Chain A
């Protein structure tokens, strides 16, 4: 039916007006009753029309070696069949033998200049690269749609061309998860040789000893069955290619290294059947392979976008080789990459281009489009009009795909032969062949592009605009388009040079961690201390895993021995699994999982460590440019970690918590308001970009988590079988019909974690679609085939279709860029392989009214934002830039030089500036998120308030200016002189107004913000106030710059004012920062540790009888370090010093005897510092009643035995007897316990050890008596305590000489003491001394 519409439209039978009305969904009542349109379905027509276009231009497209296959699968499943049928017939002229294929070969022209390598070939010489063995004929591989995606040629080559005797471990990541042959017995060890005779396909099923190559072949053979018989023509002509290994140009060092491992110099490429079959891609049949990502390596060779063809097979062989080698090199580089650029491009396997059969034997000449040779131009115009209407009405799902398609046509040529055929066909069947000749199709493309020029203007970057504008065909076919493009190129350039280049303030400096937030992370947020402690460990472990993963041990680079990075993936997976599981098991409780989920979410949001300039440059110089196609949902290298983490964790509880965390964060972000009265355009765009990126990232993960339970293969199995690259297969793969049916029936009532429908509706109502739709798109893109077809999602998709079809068609409230952005991103979703496009054709009765005044109407999207948010848009630009390179043979890498000023001062200033920016970022990051929100709130409010104040200031200024103007007018009657004077006066007033306003803004911002923050965030550092003030100030000054630019603010029309006049100020002062508090310099303080060390050393020297310096200095240092103002001193230290000083005293006495008298003052100073408050002895009045207590039994024994420990400084209970005595009436104020405790060491000055130290030195004992007397006098030692220790000493066995010395000493003390006081103590001492002096040794024994 659609066919008939086109036919009749072309033949003129169908009135164009009628058709366009029909297409516009207007009434066609005027049409005759038998009009075909009444019986046709518009959507069906769209699908048919597109496939019609594709088929017509197919052979032209085949010559374009750069283009990616263009997906086109719009239409209902039934229609796909129709398309397919149609397509087959259309392909007949060129590949009649290929009818049974559902994909078509894409041919390449023979332009030798297309690849740098081709120059080497002599034209006409045909060398077949026989990469694959003859005996594999029947396995010839035409990469069939689904398989080319999973296993690609180069990998096969890598595998087969590497001697497997080495420890090479192939990367199976791209292979299907199950081997078609022997899924369970796959063992690499069995693969002794890769070039061993292969088992033929027929014997495959029986043969269980599988060789690797066999495996590979078998993988491919599945889909090639049908084609097998067709590729026979050129087999025998193929000869094995000899590659010249000595040619270092072709084989850089790696190849030579490899060659040495081979026995001969000749390198035999192990045969693998790939390329002999006619590789066919169809532009019409949608196959996932169409999305295969081109290799960055290939791209470097300008190959990325010519995946299907090879002009000559030799060049293909070489290029394949080169690609292999480059891939190896890339691996090595990644492995040893010093900078560890995490963003290094993924090595996707280059696609093997499979050339058409016999192409090389043909005449290579091509036909270039020629404007003068267009035939049936009016007919083509009809098609162009139809196409245009379809695009305008948003009936075509992805406009980008169409533009890509058109540009591809434009860049193509046609083979002579094809041209001839098409020309003859054109005469016979206009409908079937109208676009087949290159001239016609080019005309069609150029004119259609002209119709879409407003879109082109946006989605092409400036270089692409230039390239396209300079394109000869565009110039000749439609000069207006060329003019338009070059003009917008000029505009873009101008805009770029005008815009200040200070765009460096991208989120930078993030260091890949999330700050501890004491509001959400401290112990109170955990149910128990144990759980808190566990999370502490979990946090550390999480970061450890992250570091491990990104260090290359886990991520790429690693890999085992000989194989470079290829092997070990399974091992890494296993290791990651072990680690993640340990992590989750460490705190298996739900609260811990929730916290971990929150951490992960925040990591995703906060820690996108962007690469440094240096590493970026390094990557660009060393790695091939990495313009991967972004046609499929894609996880960046950074995101891969989180994805794998989630996958390997295999913990449902954690995943549920993560879902919750993501969902709540998405909801919060979705509700963020980012427009406000004082913000301006570029701010808005930037904020929008940041917000949108965050939302898209989170929703991508939420989508991943949602589909995960339905698609994940158990990690166990995955690890056994070897991992797959991502789980693309799973989410894109359509399940069996019956399975799908069952699944849908089972899950049809399920609901997503968040109410997406409700959110979308709310967004439509509130005019916030630009925020909500993109993240919904990302969410949906991650869902699996089945989920997308569930009831709930069907409703959601209907809503999206409704937005696409209705809202984005023609609305006046959205900006042009916004509409294109929305269309692009929705188009991207609609074009995904697993997307249920069939829903588009369903009847929709969604009604919604779009808010016209909302966020959507702001100017949100600029060029850079567009490319950031829609990376897939780059594909068109890459297509263009690569096309040019092909002709000019130049590199298309542009590295923008960074200007480095030679002025060191400037450099320092810039560095300083950058540093400050980083500091600010760190400061903000370290704040709890609640504080950050408060901060934002505060500065927005203050800005708004300040803007109001400014308005008031303006009013005042106007009055003032008017008064001044009045004065001038009065003075100058001459109009000619008056006007310039007035202008100057107004300009002056404007300057004054502006500077005053800035000043007042500063003050307002400062005072208000500090007031607000002091109230709201009382503990925040002052710098935070400053940040807020500065942000606020910047916004205000921007506002002033935006709004108060001309004198028009003061006076709209000066001349008018001057005539009408032929007939009234201030700002507050600034604050001064408080000076830093005056602090003592700690360097002047004495170190107790040093004093202790010195004193200890001094004692040792004395003990050794070594030469020791006078001790005064050491003692003074000790005293100084015990001084109360010394902040270094702590009670234990002081006690240690005191104790050590007493030891020192004894040792000094023992060695230096009476010299102690010189030292005693210093010691006294020290001791006095340590024990300033010493109790009085009260000997006299006490003695009578104390007398009976002198017996050691009760009085002295009730003392606490000895200090247990001096750690705690509380030794009150060990007070000497002095303190313990009940205070008599006239007793002095009781000393505090610490002093008493501090005095304890003095009480033990007479002890067994010290007696030993003093030994038999009589002089020392005499000196000791002096010391004891001194201690008694200065009240360090209580007489009672001395008596007690004395008694204890006498109870021990001592040699007679020691006893004598001791007694003499005691007597001296007693006599010395009695002169000052007297009483029981002296009597007791005397008694002891007398009694024990001449005690017999035998008695003691």
Chain B
């Protein structure tokens, strides 16, 4: 778990600046950045980079057969060389794409439909062409933001933190209804945990808790707020959002924070939680 304070804007800006200097979206560049910011917990920096890469990819990645075939031409050109060890990485860098996205695009030219692309991406051993198989394998292995493994990792992280949170709630004897139960009861919007009995965290009433196993910056926070957090507020009142990998300090000064929900980076300390108890 990361440190408890939100990330200072200065640090965040420095990371973004360094990120913008990066010439590659492969894991190597990411590792370098991690090395540079040793004081920042690794998941946090990964998450920040992930967000930044996603933002860049939104701009540079296009699903188009024309582009795919162009990529394939380039690939074939390079494969003629003797030294074809990391052709894919070079190509991805040159195209300003993350390697996994690049191989996906490449496969789109090779395969007949997207299901097949998906299948090959998932299991590169199924690709008949050994060179291509190896290159795709390389591409996927060297990408920390896209690809089947990364998807699994992200899902798994989300789940882990949710379970962690659930566990904490159980340990504190806080009763709750989880998403599945709420959906079963016909709720139209379901936070991760809707507390059956509200608690107070540092004096702030909390009716629901949303776990976010990523870093919260202004961009994704705004999105979450619109699609989830405000909707929860509209139904359940104030709540708690945990950005497990930290969040940008500027979020704390948005009007909704400390008003409709509070932000934390960990599960609150026992001492800061007030449970409703009745003394007779």
Residue ranges of A at the interface with B (Cβ–Cβ < 8 Å): 509, 511, 513, 515-516, 518, 521-524, 532-533, 535-536, 539-540, 542-544, 911-912, 915-916, 918-920, 922-923, 925-926, 1002, 1006, 1021-1024, 1026-1027, 1029-1030, 1033, 1076-1077, 1079-1083, 1087-1089, 1092-1093, 1096-1097, 1099-1100, 1103, 1127-1128, 1130, 1132-1133, 1136, 1139-1140, 1143, 1202-1206, 1241, 1244-1245, 1247-1253, 1292
| B205 touching A1088, Cβ below 8 Å | no
Chain A residues positioned under 8 Å from B141 (CB to CB):
1096, 1099-1100, 1103, 1143
Q: What 1/0 flags go to B200-239 for Cβ under 8 Å of A?
A: 1001010100000000000000000000001101111110
A916 to B152, CA, bound (A): 42
Q: Please, how many angstroms separate the alpha-carbon atoms of A515 and B275 in the complex?
A: 20
Q: Which residues of B contact A536 (CB under 8 A)?
A: 188-189, 231
Docked pose: A1024 CA to B230 CA in angstroms: 27
Report 26 cross-chain contacts, Cβ distance below 8 Å, ordered by A residue.
Answer: A511-B260, A515-B236, A536-B188, A540-B230, A543-B233, A543-B234, A912-B274, A916-B274, A918-B200, A923-B197, A923-B276, A1023-B197, A1076-B172, A1087-B157, A1093-B144, A1100-B141, A1100-B142, A1128-B163, A1202-B119, A1241-B123, A1247-B126, A1248-B129, A1249-B127, A1249-B130, A1249-B137, A1252-B134
Nearest CB in chain A: distance from B189 CB, A: 7
Are A1089 and B188 touching (Cβ within 8 A)?
no
**Contact B125 A1089, beta carbon cutoff 8 Å:** no
Tell which of B156, B164, B199, B207 touches A1082, judged by Cβ atoms closer than 8 Å: B164
Of B149, B231, B237, which one neighbours A511 at CB under 8 angstroms? Answer: B237
Assembly CA distance A748 to B264 (angstroms): 63
Determine chain A's interface SS by DSSP, over half rule.
Answer: helix
Complex Cα–Cα for A1087 and B154 (A) = 12
| Interface pair A922/B205, CB less than 8 Å apart | yes
Report the Cα distance A590→B131, complex, angstroms: 63
Question: What is the minimal beta-carbon distance from B252 to any residue of chain A, in angstroms?
Answer: 17
Contacts of B118 in A (CB 8 A): 1205
Question: Which residues 152-211 of B have a CB within 8 angstroms of A?
Answer: 152-157, 159-160, 163-164, 167, 170-173, 175, 185-189, 196-200, 203, 205, 207
Tell me which of B115, B160, B163, B234 contacts A540 (CB under 8 A).
B234
For the complex formed, measure the closest distance between the CB of B274 and the CB atoms of chain A, giving whole angstroms. Answer: 5
Q: Could you tell me the distance between the alpha carbons of A1245 and B142 in the complex, rounded to whole angstroms?
A: 21
A518 to B119, CA, bound (A): 42
CB-based closest 10 A-B pairs? A522-B186, A1249-B133, A1248-B130, A516-B235, A1252-B130, A919-B276, A1089-B156, A536-B188, A1026-B278, A922-B198
A511 to B239, CA, bound (A): 12
Minimum CB distance partner of A1127 in chain B: B163
Task: Write out the residue numbers on chain B whose beta carbons fall within 8 Å of the beta carbon of A1136.
Answer: 148-149, 152
Q: Do B236 and A1140 have beta carbons less than 8 Å apart?
A: no
Q: How far is the CB of B94 from chain A (nearest CB, A)?
A: 19
Do A1204 and B127 touch (CB < 8 A)? no
Determine how close the nearest CB of chain A comes to the CB of B33; give it in whole angstroms: 14
Residues A1143 and B230 in contact, CB atoms below 8 Å apart: no
| Interface: B280 (CB within 8 A) | yes
Q: Which residues of A contact B203 (CB under 8 A)?
A: 911, 915
- Asked if A524 and B123 sit within 8 Å, CB to CB, the answer is no
Is B90 an interface residue when CB atoms closer than 8 A count as contact?
no
Would A1249 and B170 be within 8 Å (CB), given that A516-B235, A524-B186, A1128-B159 are in contact? no
* CB closest chain-A residue, reference B195: A926
Q: Which of A542, A916, A1081, A1139 contacts B123 (CB 8 A)?
A: A1139
Question: Which of B123, B172, B199 contacts A1202 (CB under 8 A)?
Answer: B123
Chain B residues contacting A919 (CB-CB under 8 Å) are 197-200, 205, 274-276
Q: From B160, which residue of chain A is reached at the shortest CB distance? A: A1128
In the bound complex, do residue B173 and residue A1076 qualify as a contact, i.e. CB atoms below 8 Å apart? yes
Contact of A543 among B142, B154, B230, B280 (CB under 8 A): B230
Chain B residues engaging chain A, CB cutoff 8 angstroms: 27, 115, 118-119, 122-131, 133-134, 137-138, 141-142, 144, 148-149, 152-157, 159-160, 163-164, 167, 170-173, 175, 185-189, 196-200, 203, 205, 207, 230-231, 233-238, 260, 274-278, 280
Q: How far is it, in angstroms, between the C-alpha of A1261 and the C-alpha of B153 when the chains are bound?
A: 32
Partner of A1133 from B134, B152, B167, B277 at Cβ < 8 Å: B152
In the bound complex, residues from chain A placing their C-beta under 8 Å from that of B277 are 916, 1023, 1026
> B205 — which chain A residues lie within 8 A by C-beta?
509, 511, 918-919, 922
Q: Closest B residue to A1206 by CB, please name it.
A: B122
Contacts of A1249 in B (CB 8 A): 124-125, 127, 130, 133-134, 137
CA distance A1143 to B125 in the complex (A): 9
A1203–B118 CA distance with the chains assembled, in angstroms: 12
The distance in angstroms between the C-alpha atoms of A1077 and B167, with both chains bound, is: 11
Q: Is the CB of A1092 within 8 A of B152?
A: yes
Which of A513, A1021, A1082 is the one whose CB lies under 8 Å from B163? A1082
Question: Given contacts A918-B200, A1089-B160, A1253-B134, could you give 12 more A-B pairs where the C-beta distance is less than 8 Å?
Answer: A540-B231, A926-B207, A1021-B196, A1033-B280, A1076-B172, A1093-B153, A1100-B141, A1128-B160, A1136-B152, A1202-B123, A1244-B123, A1252-B130
Taking a contact as CB atoms under 8 Å apart, the answer to whether B125 and A1252 are in contact is no
Please give the distance in Å from B66's CB to the nearest CB on chain A.
28
Q: How far is the CA of A1301 from the CA of B196 in the complex (A)?
A: 65
Q: State which of A912, A923, A1132 has its C-beta within 8 Å of the C-beta of B198.
A: A923
* Cross-chain contact of B236 among A516, A918, A1132 (Cβ < 8 A): A516
**Cα separation A1027 to B123 with both chains bound (whole Å):** 57
A912 contact set on B, CB distance < 8 A: 274
Alpha-carbon separation in the docked complex, A918 to B201 (Å): 12
Contact B276 A521 (CB under 8 A): no
CB-defined contacts of A540 to chain B, threshold 8 Å: 230-231, 234
Task: Please give the distance in Å from A1287's CB to the nearest CB on chain B.
Answer: 14
- A1205 and B122 form a contact (CB under 8 A): yes
In the complex formed, the residue of B with least CB distance to A1031 is: B278
Specify the chain B residue showing the minimal Cβ separation from A1024: B197
Question: What residues of B have a CB within 8 angstroms of the CB of A1099 in the complex?
Answer: 141
Determine the distance from Cα of A524 to Cα of B104 in the docked complex, in whole angstroms. Answer: 43
Closest chain A residue to B173, Cβ basis: A1076
A188 CB → nearest B CB, Å: 33
Closest residue on chain B to residue A1121 by CB atoms = B156
In the complex, what distance in Å separates the CA atom of A1285 from the CA atom of B275? 61
A1079 touches B207 (CB 8 A): no
Q: Which residues of B contact A1143 (CB under 8 A)?
A: 137, 141
Which A residues lie within 8 Å of B185 (CB)? 518, 522
Task: From B130, B142, B196, name the one whose CB has the most chain A CB atoms within 10 angstroms.
Answer: B130
Taking a contact as CB atoms under 8 Å apart, the answer to whether B188 and A522 are in contact is yes
- A1088 interface neighbour in B156, B197, B236, Cβ under 8 Å: B156
CB of B79 to closest CB in A, whole Å? 12
Give chain A residues whose Cβ lies under 8 Å from the Cβ of B276.
Answer: 916, 919-920, 923, 1023
- Is A539's CB under 8 angstroms from B235's CB? yes
Listed residue (B124, B134, B156) with the most chain A CB atoms within 10 angstroms of its CB:
B156
Chain B residues, CB < 8 A from A1079: 167, 170-171
Chain A min CB distance to B35 (Å): 13
Are B127's CB and A1248's CB within 8 A? yes
Q: CB-CB < 8 A to A1247: which residues of B? A: 125-126, 133
| Separation of A1027 and B148 alpha carbons in the complex (Å) | 50
Q: How far is the CB of B128 from chain A (nearest CB, A)?
A: 6
Given contacts A1130-B159, A1136-B149, contact A922 B207 (CB under 8 A): yes
Which chain B positions have C-beta within 8 A of A1076? 170-173
CA gap between A532 and B187 in the complex, in Å: 10
A522 touches B198 (CB 8 A): no
Contact: B126 with A1092, CB < 8 Å? no
Whether the Cβ atoms of A1023 and B156 lie closer than 8 Å is no
Would you give the shortest CB distance from B121 to chain A, in whole angstroms?
Answer: 11
Query: CA separation between A1076 and B173, bound complex, in Å?
Result: 6
CA distance A743 to B230 in the complex (A): 47
How far, in angstroms, from A1027 to B198 measured CA to CA in the complex? 13
Chain B residues with CB under 8 Å of A923's CB are 197-198, 276
Across-interface contacts of B115 in A (CB, < 8 A): 1204
